Amino acid sequence: MLRKTLIATLCATAFAGAPLMASAAEGPKPKEYKSELGTVTVTEVASGLDHPWALAFLPDSKGILVTERSGDLRLVSADGKLSGALSGAPQVWAKGQGGLLDVVLSPDFANDRMVYLAYAEGDGKTAAEGDKAGTAVGRGRLSADMTRLEDFNVIFRQQPKLSVGNHFGARLVFDRQGYLFVTLGENNDRPTAQDLDKLQGKVVRIFPDGKVPDDNPFVGREGVAPEIWSFGHRNPQGAALNPWSGTVWLNEHGPKGGDEINIVERAQNFGWPLATHGINYSGQPIPEAKGKRVEGTKAPFHVWEVSPGVSGMAFYDDGRFKAWDHNVFIGALKSEDLIRLQFEGDRIVHEERLLGERKERIRDVRQGPDGYLYVLTDDNSGKLLKVGLKE
| Active-site position among 167, 233, 253, 277 | 167
Q: How far apart are CA 306 and CA 269, in angstroms?
A: 23
Per the annotation, the verdict on 167 as an active-site residue is yes
User: Are the C-beta atoms of 238 and 311 separated by less than 8 Å?
Assistant: yes
Report the candidate in 82, 209, 203, 83 with the shortest Cα–Cα distance to residue 140: 209
User: Are the C-beta atoms of 55 and 85 separated by less than 8 Å?
Assistant: no
| Cα distances (angstroms) measured from residue 233 to each of 17, 31, 355 | 38, 38, 29
User: Are the C-beta atoms of 296 and 362 separated by less than 8 Å?
Assistant: no
Which amino acid, 35? S
From the CB of residue 238, how many other CB atoms can be counted at a distance below 10 Å? 26
- State in Å, rounded, how far the first CA of the chain is from the last one: 45
Q: Mark 29-65 as b/e (b = at least 16 C-beta within 10 Å).
A: ebeebebeeeebbbbbbbeebbbbbbbbbbeebbbbb
Task: List the strands of the sheet with 73-76, edge to edge.
Answer: 52-57, 64-68, 73-76
Give the active site residues: 167
